[in-house]
Chain A
């Protein structure tokens, strides 16, 4: 199984001509044909013949290739615009929309020589954490197809976990990369706000949205990240702060102080998840890192702060879907999306804005201060990604508040603009994956990647594959 290998292994095989890009692409299509009908990880696929042609060209140009991504098949969460396929964002409102322009992240990946295969399923507009709020088929978890793959980038995580694809680009507004990475036993990086250009991303909440890589390992994430960062004149919030080579420092031996924010381990955290996370903490301690307890008291209000911010912004962003210039009628939006738009309209409306939106933005100022203070006592924070194990399909979509509460540990990270890495930390007795997140200061991706990579040298959780492909 070629797509089980790391990107750097595949890059070597491609350069030695032992494997061709055509082989990789063919394997991707075969596995997608085999598994996608069960998992619903993809919404759109590119025409296979066209992609094989592209792979042949990549093989011809391999000797001149400068990027290790050259010839490697990947997918995009269907929240990015591109010219090769339709872009739906998981909603029938955009069904059949063919973008006349492409996202910066897609352009950068194409320039690196990587090969787009298709677009992944998601909760429509990023609204959800289960890939059930999609107008296409409900996404399934490869580890147990009666359970959710997490979300909203659930299709990407399931496709990587089941080795349909080498890597994918997800989008994280309040956990949408980390939550499915945790639930599907894959690795995912929520970058600092501004690290990667958001141009061509379908906006959920513009002050929270981040574009990041999802893959099988931290090493792969570092490699993809290197290819997609940079200042972009098409996104005024993109940052110049990009002089790090994530790969050269990846193996550097480091000794860090890891902070455990006690509010992330309070009641509400499933004891099965807690046990696994604490074992991972022990692993770091045994490897010579220092572990301290820290406190971020406002986390208790994290769901309210995150959602009042995110939903206010989404109500504004979603106003553009009027069915005139593109797309279909907004009356076709799902219940989940309609509720979210209405909550945001409410939080911004006359008479309520002061006690809802404004208060959440004041709380945001204080929350950022609390994170800054915690980072005076430690280098990174370690925490669970979600309070629970992957829910049964149907459990969350019918309980909107419960679904919101699942974002308690992830949403506040976006509110503060920090970076966070989600990596596999173990399994429950029923063989359901559980991930942990390492949270870093803004623009400290390299530090997280080093620590995450170190953990993956000591453990093999990230190498485990679901039985559906064995």
Chain B
């Protein structure tokens, strides 16, 4: 069967989405995503030169409020669902590693 989505593309979008895939999953998703993308191809037959996009249903209207200090979570509440905390802070994974 024709595979519209290449293995390389599967790996690329997995990386964009921060999802780790093993080789079995790359193969499986390649065929499943190809099948779905082939279906989405039906839109290609439509042409909408100057048609504006609709990305939301509600009227575009700015919502304002006074910049008053309001009640919010206590530090304890905010941290209560985190598995890694330290001295009242969230512990996040390393983003930068130091070279030796």
Contact = CB atoms under 8 A, between A and B. Distances in A.
Interface of A: 97-98, 100-101, 193-194, 207, 233, 236-237, 239, 300-301, 303-305, 307-308, 315, 319, 322-328, 330-331, 333, 335, 338-339, 341-347, 349, 355-356, 358-366, 368, 400-401, 404-405, 416-417, 442
Contacts of B94: none
25 contacts: A100-B78, A193-B57, A194-B57, A207-B55, A207-B57, A304-B43, A308-B43, A327-B81, A330-B18, A333-B19, A335-B28, A335-B29, A339-B29, A339-B33, A342-B10, A342-B33, A343-B36, A349-B13, A355-B44, A359-B48, A362-B53, A364-B54, A365-B53, A401-B35, A404-B39
Contact of B17 (A303, A315, A327): A315
B88 interface: no
Nearest to A307: B40
Contact of A360 (B5, B33, B43, B58): B43
Given A98-B81, A315-B17, A305 B36 contact: no
A339 B78 CA distance: 31
B43 A417 contact: no
Contacts of A322: 18
Contacts of B56: 207, 237
A100 B33 contact: no
B54 A361 contact: yes
A349 B10 CA distance: 12
Given A324-B90, A362-B52, A366-B51, A303 B77 contact: no
B39 A331 contact: no
Contacts of A358: 53
B29 A362 contact: no
Contacts of B84: 324
Contacts of A331: 19-20
Contacts, number: 138
Main DSSP-derived SS at the A contact region: helix
A21 to B, nearest CB: 31
B57 A417 contact: yes
A342 B17 contact: yes
Interface string B40-81: 101110101001111111100001010000000100011011
Contacts of A405: 39
Main DSSP-derived SS at the B contact region: loop
B96 interface: no
B40 A356 contact: yes
Contacts of B40: 304, 307-308, 347, 356
Residue of B16, B77, B92 most packed against chain A (CB within 10 A):
B16
Given A325-B82, A404-B39, A342 B29 contact: yes
Residue of B17, B33, B73, B93 most packed against chain A (CB within 10 A):
B17
A363 B42 CA distance: 12
Contacts of B28: 335
Q: Which 10 A-B pairs have the closest CB atoms?
A: A417-B57, A326-B81, A361-B53, A362-B48, A100-B77, A345-B17, A236-B63, A362-B51, A193-B57, A364-B54
B73 A100 contact: yes
B37 to A, nearest CB: 8
Interface string B1-31: 0000100011001101111110001001100
B35 A359 contact: no
B78 to A, nearest CB: 7
A339 B32 contact: yes
B36 A404 contact: yes
Nearest to B84: A324
Contacts of B19: 330-331, 333, 338, 341-342
Given A193-B58, A365-B51, A366-B48, A400 B36 contact: yes
A324 B89 CA distance: 11
